[in-house]
Structure 1
Amino acid sequence: MMKRILHISKYYYPFSGGTEQIARDCVNALKDEYEQKVIAFNDGKEDVNDYVDDIEVIRCGCFTKISAQSLSISYKKRLHNVIKTFKPDIVIFHYPNPFVAHFILKELKNNDIKFILYWHLDIVRQKLLRVFFKSQNRKLLKRADKVIATSPNYIEGSEWLQSVKEKCVVVPNCINEERMKITPEIEEKAQKIRKENEGKTICVAVGRHTEYKGFTYLIQASKLLDDKFKIFITGTGELTESLKKEAANDSKITFTGRIEDEDLKAYILACDIFCFPSITKNEAFGVALAEAMYYGKPAVTFNIPGSGVNYVCLDGVTGIEVENKNVEAYAKAILNLSDNDKLRVKCGDSGHKRVIDNFLYANFMNNIKLFVDGTLNCFNERKEI
């Protein structure tokens, strides 16, 4: 009889988000060896059950959000029912999700279900939540049989993971190699972008326009560069209008807005330098960074203590890392890569190799399988996969 796993994610595909994609990757990595179900919030008020990749997804209606935390009237009952009827051997919980954590702790209090805590990031931005849920975090980490972190940097930089280092294992996030394929249409779009910016050093930055992504520092760095540079900033967010105002007199910067995946790949393929100016541990890993490195693009990053960004991109090897929020150093790094063709190519080639060796789905699938099998068999030694 196949062992059973219940995955608990804040949201789930087709909802788009980094944690949600990792949760789906995790499910698909295990689908041939385990019977699985997923429980998550619905991006709406109704309770819905559907199937994704032939796996049942139980979606609990969300009536409101407080500090980015979804709240649901039906969640407690539906979680209890699925644990009672499905009888999972393992529960994999994608943290942070404090509202749900409260119910998980109650459900797992007096049973021998193996509990894997998938620690995506510390609660950093929501200061009130961070203080309020300290006790809950301690209980979660105590109950966990094993804890997954996405980089060794995050284990070393997190006060929570430091307290349970013996339970932690590193399973790096992955990129979808299939999704990264370049079609003739994408190549044609990339060539058009290059032609329209002939003679320029093309820089691209990708992400939601929110504080931790650090786009304001890229805009400030741009003002220190001359007109041989062209900088494209993709995406939208709550800071879009203020960022546009800040860059209003800088003709080097273009905001593309939210664009289709095909166009995004074309911009990254066309660029000479990938700018990744995130500034806090809210950027726990940097999948977009790994995707650009897969295309052989050298990156410029800030040093973020405790973040996996500086584990994904290695200073002087796959790009250039500078002091956090140091605008002058960031501009100098961009200029250095622009002026040094050999360094740019070397970093790009090394970045591609690093992704191939460490951050592809095949690596992730193998790591997750080994880890889950080991947890089920009560392995106690700490591993670093």
Structure 2
Amino acid sequence: MKKILHISKYYYPFSGGTEQIARDCVLALKDAYEEKVIAFNDGKEDKTDIVDGIEIIRCGCFAKVSAQSLSTSYRKKLHDVMCNFNPDIVIFHYPNPFVAQLLLSEMKHSTAKLVVYWHLDIIRQKFLRLFFGPQNRRLLECADKVIATSPNYIEGSPWMQSVREKCVVVPNCINVERMKVTSEIEARAAEIKSENKGKTICVAVGRHTEYKGFSYLIQASRLLDDTFRIYITGTGELTEKLHQEAAGDNKIIFTGRIDDVELKALIWSSDIFCFPSITKNEAFGLALAEAMYYEKPAVTFTIPGSGVNYVCINGENGIEVENRNVEKYADALRQLAADENLRIRYGQAAKKRVCENFLNSEFKTNINRVIENLRG
């Protein structure tokens, strides 16, 4: 049986979009390949555990620089697994620039095929973007295949354009099992609706960081009347700033970190899903696809080069407005709030798009095809 080493920045149960995709990738290939995963640990100590029957090697992290993890043990752990496990294929989830340098060194002495799973360009950290430019070129030159999550990202990324002949699109997926609505979720959703009777419930999900665009949603909220209720989940480095921006606006409720039942209940009870991301740091929008699976119409910004506008199609399953234009964002929310039939039509089309393009069954077929063709 051929062997695959997956390299992800972090790994389940660590929560994050890339980590979820990495796990989906591992599970999709599990039946046909022997697999291991190496990642950073969320703490300082090294540890090894088993997830879904797969060995996960976690390297302790002693510090972070510009959101990039650093580990004193990673070099040795990676060298050991490359030598002892001796993978036939390495799937490297990018961005993870510090580990990329270690991997490039290992690949000089390995016959393994390299698949670079390109989740997004480094955009916000300007220093890192410049510093790791030469490394990116070497990484992409070394790669046998480069996976992009949407055709939009290939068109919008100068890095993808530089190796276009190596690129293949594998859209991210949602796991239907994880999306099941239980009686507990239904009951909580009914409570939320009752608490907000007569109001249009809007929900926004994600880490409180600049590219998620929550500041623009808060500005749009100030243009709306009190018939709206806007829930913003999560936390992050901008949480305090966002609270200050929303001060005095009783339409907005910050939930903080919530469990899976509460999150699903919020989305299930909502009338509109708000996805105000503003840059292609938001490469795809997995949370957007999940809300669409629940038949929720979405309001997004236009993001050139991002997969967001590939997932949610303007005028078919949601409304897309000019980037950072809070007046038009508020107008789109008003339009959907005033037209129940439009919400239903967009919601049904949203689920149809997800079911036809972004389910884990389709993902499994796509990722296995990439690896099988690589072997050939």
TM range (shorter): over 0.9
* Cα shift readout 1:39-58 (whole Å, capped 9, x = no counterpart): 11111222212111111111
Q: Give 1:143's aligned residue.
A: 142
Calculate the aligned-residue CA RMSD, in Å: 1.0
Where does structure 1 lack aligned partners over 5 or more consecutive residues? 378-385
Instruction: Give the 5 Å matches for 1:331-342.
Output: 331-342=330-341
Secondary structure in 1 matching 2:278? coil
**C-alpha displacement of 1:344:** 1.1
Distance in structure 2 (CA, Å) of the matches to 1:95 and 1:14: 19
Q: Which residue of 2 aligns with 1:383?
A: none
Which amino acid letter does the alignment assign opposite residue 164 of structure 1?
Answer: V
Q: Distance in 1 between matches of 2:245 and 2:2?
A: 55
SS at match of 1:321: strand
User: What displacement does 1:305 show?
Assistant: 0.8
Tell whether 2:189 aligns with 1:190.
yes
Once residues 233 and 84 of structure 2 are traced to their aligned partners in structure 1, the CA distance between those partners, rounded to angstroms, is: 45
Question: How far is the alpha carbon of 1:163 from its aligned partner?
Answer: 0.6
Matches of 1:295 and 1:304, distance apart in 2: 23
Identical-residue share of aligned pairs (%): 70
Residue by residue, what CA displacement relative to the aligned partner does 1:121-168 show, whole Å, maximum 9, x if unpaired?
Answer: 001111101000000000000010000000111111101001111100
Aligned residue pairs total 376
SS at match of 2:247: coil
Q: CA offsets per residue over residues 94-145 of structure 1, 9 Å max, x none?
A: 0011111111111112443110000000011111010000000000000100
Alignment match, 2:170: 171
Partners of 1:200 and 1:59 in 2: CA distance: 46
2:307 corresponds to = 308
SS in 2 for 1:179: helix
Q: Which moved more, 1:273-282 or 1:54-63?
A: 54-63
The residue type paired with residue 30 of structure 1 is L
Residues 75-94 of structure 1 correspond to what in structure 2 (within 5 A)?
A: 75-94=74-93
Letter in 2 for 1:61: G
**How does 1:217-236 map onto structure 2 within 5 Å?**
217-236=216-235
Per-residue deviation, residues 331-352 of structure 1 (Å, max 9, x unmatched):
0011111112221111100000
Corresponding residue of 1:24: 23
Give the TM-score of the pair, scaled to structure 2.
Answer: 0.98
Separation (CA, whole Å) in 2 of partners of 1:55 and 1:180: 23
Matching residue of 2:241:
242
User: Structure 1 stretch 245-254 or stretch 90-99: which is displaced more?
Assistant: 245-254
CA–CA separation in structure 2 for the residues paired with 1:361 and 1:12? 18
- Which residue of structure 1 aligns with residue 70 of structure 2? 71
TM-score, normalization: structure 1?
A: 0.96
* In 1: Cα distance, 2:241 partner to 2:225 partner: 23
Question: Which residue in 2 is equivalent to 1:290?
Answer: 289
CA deviation map 1:24-78 (0-9, x unaligned): 1111111111011111111122221211111111111211111111111111111
Poorly superposed stretches of 4+, deviation over 2 Å: none
